[in-house]
Structure 1
Amino acid sequence: MFSVDELVVYPAQGVGKVERIETQEIGGVATELIIVRILSNNVTLMVPVKNARNVGLRGVYTPEQADEIRVYLQDRTDFTGYSGQNWNRRYREYSEKLKSSDLRDVAYVLKELILIGKDKELSFGERRLLEQAMGLISLELSFALKQDQAEVKKSIEDLFADILHAKDAENEAEVD
């Protein structure tokens, strides 16, 4: 069970803070709810206590789990790329993974899109998914590691510096 003021993660929404736990009557039935305010966009969610785990509500990762995510991001052995898949199918697959309560699934999307972007221009939808994945991961890791989100984002980008800098150099060469 979660407690008031605890930081939690709601899939696809990100890190939030439990504001209160209250009972409301819904459809004539008294229902205990966890009221969570998402920190990145100030949205308030009402999650039934009995369904909290089922919908993926969980605590923020520990520093050890955050380090595991960083190691996972560096490991490129599971990169599947875009072999034979059209962008629409990838988009649906990645969108589903971003809704996962497992941050490793979100990290998978981030890693895949950065690596795909090495070889081809990402579509608008893919760029949005990349931004969403980066935001979800960098925010949670910033709380887990007690670091500024911008620092965490920079450290993640540094993991892919070889790819991102090569892409920048390629773009500069096209301009010249």
Structure 2
Amino acid sequence: MFSPDELVVYPAQGVGKVERIERQEVGGVTAEFYIVRILTNNVTLMVPVKNAANVGLRPLCSTERANEIMLSLEDRSGFTGYTGQNWNRRYREYSEKLKSPDLGDVAYVLRELLLIGKDKELSFGERRLLEQAMSLLVVELSHVQGLTQEEVRANIEALFQDVLQPRENVE
């Protein structure tokens, strides 16, 4: 059970604040809802209290988990390089991972797209997923680590300094 003013994470939307818990009648049935305002875009969500766990509503990760996430971004052992996999299949896979309540899945998408981007130009959709993953990660980690979003983004970008260098045009 979450409380008003508590920060929570809604998958694919990011960090939000529980503004209140409301009782409403929907379809003749009375139910309780968390009213959650997403911090990055001011969108308000109504999440049924009984269904909150099923949709992935969760508390912010722990400091330990935030540190694990940063370490996982550094680990490139599982990355085999760009394999020419169909970008559409990759896009669907990554979109699903961004909807996961597991922050590790979000970090995975970010790491993979940054590393793929080193070898080839990302499609528009992939760049959008990259930004979404970066935003989801940066906002949550900034709250957990007590850093500004700019500091967290800079820390992540420092891990990928070699990848974020402009590619040479090869003709």
TM-score, normalised via structure 2 length: 0.96
Query: 1:159 deviation in Å?
Result: 0.5
**Structure 2 residue identity aligned to 1:8:** V
What is the CA–CA distance in structure 1 between the aligned matches of 2:149 and 2:53, rounded to whole Å? 26
Runs of 4+ residues deviating >3 angstroms:
none
Give secondary structure in 2 for the equivalent of 1:20: strand
In the alignment, is the contact (CA less than 8 A) between 2:82 and 2:119 conserved in 1?
no
Superposition pairs of residues 34-73 of structure 1, within 5 angstroms: 34-73=34-73
Counterpart code for 1:6: E
> How many residue pairs are counted as aligned between the two chains?
170
Residue in 1 aligned with 2:125?
125
Tell me, in whole angstroms, the C-alpha distance in 2 between the residues paired with 1:123 and 1:137: 21
Uncovered stretches (5+) of structure 1, i.e. residues with no partner? none
Determine the structure 1 residue equivalent to 2:20.
Answer: 20
**Contact preservation (8 Å) 2:36, 2:46:** yes
Give the match for residue 6 of structure 2.
6
Once the two structures are superposed, residues 110-156 of structure 1 have per-residue CA deviations (whole angstroms, 9 ceiling, x without a partner) of 00000000100101110000000000000000001011001100100
Distance 1:54 1:81, change over 3 A: farther
Counterpart of 2:132, as a letter, is Q
**Unaligned runs of at least 5 residues, structure 2:** none
Aligned equivalents of 1:127 and 1:84: distance in 2? 17
**Amino acid in structure 2 at the alignment position of 1:34:** Y
User: How far is the alpha carbon of 1:83 from its aligned partner?
Assistant: 1.8
Distance 2:29 2:82 in 1: 48
The amino acid of 1:85's aligned partner reads Q
Which residue is 1:111 aligned to?
111
Q: Which amino acid aligns with 2:73?
A: L
Calculate the aligned-residue CA RMSD, in Å: 1.3
- Residue identity opposite 2:52 in structure 1: A
Q: Is the 8 A contact 1:80 1:112 kept in 2?
A: no
Identity, % of aligned positions? 71
Find the residue that maps to 1:163 and give its secondary structure. coil
Residue identity opposite 2:61 in structure 1: Y
**Partner Cα separation in structure 2 for residue 158 and residue 98 of structure 1:** 22
